[in-house]
């Protein structure tokens, strides 16, 4: 009897719960909710700790985010025949420079960082403009926009430098107008060449004895003119170049042709290389314009400037010929 009673007691103890009081039950229920939440919180903190930015950083700001998600390429339609409107330094910065200088990409000095810009500013404005024009490090020439005017580049440099503690004066647009007015007389200097024509009258009224001398001089000059015949073909293009709008041609060149013809990329004849341009000039202006319109080799039709008219392209070809004769 005693043995059966002991066996019964052991059986009851085996089925007893470790929670014996209501207080223990409440604590167990609370821990069942709180402990998992704490574990989840600690895991989330550990995972996200690697992506936190330093205090004061704006890498997650709206501007930096917009730059990161901006499309890699973009198309801008420009009226090639429209007059050039000079941009301000801030406009050039926002369009060309902000991509790198806002967040300091590729080692670019961050906009407004006085400590970083102290060195470049100490070199002077001209040195900084030269560096931007020619390119430096990861920055391409003219910040990657060859259509920028020298005045626009200078304004952008002044804007960025002054934001970092510089004290430079932004160049006025009138400076470019003065330079253009100084170039125009130089281009029209050959025009007064016919002026000596009135002096020919006394020579025509001179004694007939001078006629044999003139015939002899013409006869002596004829072999020289025969020898120069091969060079006559390039010279024939001179009137076409002279009549073309070279200012418009230069603008088209900077917009579409500069990328290849400035450095001779993909076999393009380099601007100013007389030997490379000689065979092309010999074919005549119409043939060269036809090649530009249709495209050739690595050059796309119209040099990639689909909105350009035939007159625009002819002006661009005339400009390049004028620099390569």
Annotate 251-318 with DSSP letters as a single string. Answer: HHIIIIIHHHHTTTGGGPPPTT-HHHHHHHHHT-HHHHHHHHHH-BTTBPGGGG-TT--HHHHHHHHH
Q: What is the DSSP letter of 99?
A: H
- For the chain, the farthest-separated pair of C-alpha atoms sits apart, in whole angstroms, at 171
Q: Which domains does the chain have, with CATH numbers?
A: 89-175 (1.10.760.10), 236-324 (1.10.760.10)
Structure confidence by residue, pLDDT tens digits, 185-224:
444 444 444 444 444 443 334 333 343 444 443 433 343 3
Cβ–Cβ under 8 Å, residues 253 and 321: no
At 74 the three-state DSSP class reads coil
Query: What is the DSSP secondary-structure string of 120-183?
Result: HHHH-HHHHHHHHHH-BTTBPGGGG-TT--HHHHHHHHHHHHHHTT--PPPPPTHHHHHHHHHH
pLDDT in tens, 82-122: 677 788 888 888 888 887 888 777 778 888 888 888 888 88
Q: 316 near 272, Cβ under 8 Å? A: no
Helix runs in 49-105, H state only: 62-68, 89-92, 98-101
What would the two tokens of residue 130 be?
Answer: 């030269």
pLDDT digits (tens, 9 = 90+) for 224-249: 333 333 343 444 444 456 667 888 88
**Which 8-state DSSP code applies to residue 82?**
S
Q: How confident is the model at residue 160 (pLDDT cuts 50, 70, 90)?
A: very high
Whole-number Å distance between alpha carbons of 112 and 101: 9
**pLDDT at res. 86:** 81
Say if residues 159 and 90 touch (Cβ distance below 8 Å). Answer: yes
Q: Would you say residue 40 has pLDDT above 90?
A: yes
Report phi then psi at 173, rounded to 5. Answer: -70, -20
* Per-residue model confidence as pLDDT tens digits over 249-268: 888 888 778 778 887 777 78
Return the closest-CA partner of residue 287 out of 248, 323, 311, 317.
317
Cα–Cα distance for residue pair 116/104, rounded to 1 Å: 10
Query: Model pTM greater than 0.85?
Result: no
Partnered with residue 296 across adjacent β-strands are: 299
């Amino acid at each position: 009897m005693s043995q059966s009673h002991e066996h019964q007691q052991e059986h009851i103890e085996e089925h007893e719960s470790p929670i014996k009081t209501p207080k223990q039950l409440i604590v167990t229920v609370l821990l069942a909710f709180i402990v998992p939440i704490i574990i989840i919180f600690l895991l989330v903190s550990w995972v996200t700790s690697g992506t936190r930015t330093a205090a004061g950083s704006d890498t997650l700001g709206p501007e930096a985010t917009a730059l990161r998600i901006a499309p890699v390429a973009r198309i801008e339609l420009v009226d090639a025949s429209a007059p050039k409107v000079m941009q301000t330094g801030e406009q050039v910065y926002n369009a060309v420079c902000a991509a790198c200088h806002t967040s300091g990409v590729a080692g670019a000095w961050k906009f407004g960082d006085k400590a970083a810009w102290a060195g470049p500013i100490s070199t002077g404005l001209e040195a900084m403009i030269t560096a931007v024009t020619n390119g430096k490090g990861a920055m391409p020439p003219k910040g990657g926009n060859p259509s920028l005017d020298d005045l626009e580049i200078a304004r952008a440099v002044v804007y960025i430098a002054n934001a970092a503690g510089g004290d430079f004066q932004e160049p006025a647009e009138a400076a470019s107008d003065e330079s253009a007015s100084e170039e125009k007389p130089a281009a029209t200097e050959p025009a007064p060449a016919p002026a000596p024509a009135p002096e020919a009258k006394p020579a025509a009224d001179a004694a007939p004895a001078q006629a044999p001398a003139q015939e002899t001089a013409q006869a002596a000059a004829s072999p020289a003119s025969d020898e120069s015949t091969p060079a006559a073909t390039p010279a024939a293009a001179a009137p076409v170049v002279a009549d073309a709008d070279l200012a418009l041609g230069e603008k088209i060149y900077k917009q579409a042709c500069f990328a290849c013809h400035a450095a001779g990329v993909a076999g393009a004849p380099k601007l100013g290389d007389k030997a490379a341009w000689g065979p092309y000039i010999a074919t005549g202006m119409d043939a060269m314009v036809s090649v530009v319109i249709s495209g050739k080799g690595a050059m796309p039709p119209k040099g990639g400037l689909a909105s350009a008219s035939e007159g625009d392209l002819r002006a661009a070809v005339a400009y390049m010929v004028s620099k390569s004769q």
